[in-house]
Structure 1
Amino acid sequence: MIAKKTNKTAILYRMVMTDHMCPYGLKSKDLLERNGFVVEDRHLTSRDEVEAFKAEHDVETTPQVFIDGKRIGGFDDLSAYFGTATKPKNATTYKPVIALFSIAALLAVCVTWLSLGTVVAGRTLEWFISISMVLLGLQKLQDVERFATMFLNYDLLAQRWVRYGYIYPFVETGAGLLMMAGLLTWLSAPAALFVASIGAISVFKAVYIDKRELKCACVGGDSNVPLGFVSLTENVMMVGMAVWMLSKL
């Protein structure tokens, strides 16, 4: 297959040193090539070269891209040039939740296949919810301090007893693991029912009664997921799972 010729060219200045290769330089090169540019890749191989380049072009950072003799800028500027700029770090997004629940669903199918020899069965939904609880708990356990701080913004029990925010991730994860294994239901189901009920009431009050705009701590303390439907769904799922498990005792 003959490669299609292109007249589009760009000059890229980026750091390529023995002890450091700028990742944004590589991303800029890749972005240019994916947009059909032939890249004249110019390496800055020492700190002196980097500082001299920045002084010459009056810029503060590298990499720097030039197209048709005009300086475009670094990777963020190049992304904006091509209309592919990413959202700001503090922008709200549902991507972490979508990814987490998608993986939970696939894991539930895998567990069903390994355990029962079929893709979907009656227990698949149970495993989906319990796996989701474990994954959500794991997200919180990565930084319990940050989670507890964000949790205090809306959880009614945590606002009365601060230590509850530090306990919650362990309860959620532990209950999810026990429910996955079908062990100690007399302990896991009431624990899940307790924390999820308080969580559902807290979210409903904060969002739908008090009309507050907050970030959800459901996927950890550094998430930009808005508090609302997602967190309420998480808690309702846990309540439903707990009630179902108790009914099976």
Structure 2
Amino acid sequence: MNADTTNTREAVLYRMVMDDHVCPFGLKARDLLRREGYSVDDHWLTTRDETDAFQAEHDVETTPQVFIGGERIGGYDEVKRHFGKPVIDPKAVSYTPVIAVFSVTALMALAASWAMYGDLLTVRAAEWFIAFSMCVLAILKLRDVESFSNMFLGYDLLAQRAVPYAYFYPFGEAFAGILMISGALLWLAVPVALFIGTVGAVSVFKAVYIDKRELECACVGGDSNVPLGFISLTENLMMIAMGIWMTLKAVM
């Protein structure tokens, strides 16, 4: 810990607390200081003028600001660094969104299987896992279709030839996933899943493994830092596998 051991473990915090805005980073900084064993002299900046005057006085551009032992530590990220805590780079590559999606959809599938059959490990649970994943991934894309399409057009072969396909893709993924959850209209859901899955898999494979391009994946929406590669390929292969499996089930 880098804290000054000569002080009385007191920290001074200046943060914005206004009628229409409470700074979340100020709350996080206060919480971190308390968890590190500091008493916090919590000063509220309650108006824009008061905040501007504080920033001008201390020659800083942002709040909150933390002082320990009379020394300015800085904002929330600087306080984390002061205590040796990791600071997340918002531009850094991260698989967290994908891990979150697949972990939750797997648990949802197991829960649905238990509710329906009283058993966790069923074939239907595996089917639901893929279908739930398709739906959740589609939701993430549909949050901002424009942003998704911009990223998707960077590597999808069909979208580059027919731009409207970039807008169709998340709707098709959601449509196929919903029908596969219900088991209804599989004659329509299966071709959609097979088509978009196959085009997607070929596009990702070419971009990553043949052209060796370093791109960001649009699989969890257009604002993620997930790298294009194995995860994107897996998403598409899952759709293909689900389409083939559903077809085999229908003819068995």
Structure 1 and Structure 2 fold alike (TM over 0.5): yes
Question: Aligned pair 1:212/2:213, yes or no?
Answer: yes
| Segment of structure 1 superposing worse, 131-140 or 14-23 | 14-23
The structural deviation recorded for 1:190 is 1.3
Count of aligned pairs between the two proteins: 244
Question: Aligned pair 1:190/2:191, yes or no?
Answer: yes
Q: Distance in 2 between matches of 1:220 and 1:55?
A: 39
Residue equivalent to 2:11: 10
Residue equivalent to 1:28: 29
Residue equivalent to 2:127: 126
Question: Aligned pair 1:69/2:70, yes or no?
Answer: yes
Alignment of 1:108-119 (within 5 A): 108-119=109-120
Q: Structure 1 residues 142, 82: CA separation in 2 closer, same or farther (over 3 Å shift)?
A: same
The structural deviation recorded for 1:85 is 4.1
The structural deviation recorded for 1:86 is 2.8
Residue equivalent to 1:3: none
Q: Distance in 1 between matches of 2:191 and 2:19?
A: 57
Alignment of 1:54-93 (within 5 A): 54-93=55-94
Q: Where do 5+ consecutive residues of structure 2 fail to align?
A: 1-6
- State the AA in 1 paired with 2:128: W
RMSD: 1.4
| Secondary structure class of the residue paired with 2:21 | coil
Question: Aligned pair 1:138/2:135, yes or no?
Answer: no
With normalisation by structure 1, the TM-score equals 0.94
Query: Deviation string for 1:92-114 (max 9, x for gaps)?
Result: 10000000001100110111122
| Secondary structure class of the residue paired with 2:13 | strand
| Secondary structure class of the residue paired with 1:248 | helix
- State the AA in 2 paired with 1:13: Y
Q: Distance in 1 between matches of 2:160 and 2:106?
A: 33
Q: Distance in 1 between matches of 2:167 and 2:245?
A: 27
Q: Distance in 1 between matches of 2:240 and 2:141?
A: 19
The structural deviation recorded for 1:27 is 1.0
Q: Distance in 2 between matches of 1:19 and 1:227?
A: 40
Residue equivalent to 1:223: 224
- State the AA in 1 paired with 2:103: S
Q: Distance in 2 between matches of 1:177 and 1:91?
A: 33
With normalisation by structure 2, the TM-score equals 0.93
Aligned sequence identity (%): 59
Residue equivalent to 1:154: 155
- State the AA in 2 paired with 1:111: A
Residue equivalent to 1:106: 107
Runs of 4+ in 1 over 6 A off after TM superposition: none
